[in-house]
A = this chain, B = another copy of it.
Amino acid sequence: MFQRYTCIEEGVEMGKSQVKNNIRKLRFNHDEMTQEQLAKKVGVTRQTIIAMESEKYAPSLELAFRIARIFGVPLEEVFYYTPEDE
């Protein structure tokens, strides 16, 4: 066994997801929207935005839709799948 995620000695090492995003770029293209403002608009905390931007994990599908909607673009213009990691 073991396993799909890089585990290091102590603690649980998070696997980075294979879904990438352009949130940061999109924020800047939208009047330099801050993480805080985006968080509020989509109804999550700033932590969640940070985690997504730093790709610690991918958002839920529902949250992905809400974010795309805020930026007024289709979901696949914000998020994209990179299997096998490039």
Interface residues of A (CB under 8 A from B): 17-19, 58-62, 64-66, 69, 74-76, 79, 81, 83
Contacts and interface: CB of A to CB of B under 8 A. Distances in A.
Nearest to A59: B61
Contact of A62 (B19, B65, B75, B76): B19
> What 6 A-B pairs are tightest by C-beta distance, nearest first?
A65-B81, A58-B61, A61-B64, A61-B61, A19-B62, A19-B61
A39 B39 CA distance: 34
Given A60-B61, A61-B61, A75-B76, 6 more contacts: A19-B65, A58-B60, A60-B60, A62-B81, A66-B83, A74-B76
B79 A61 contact: yes
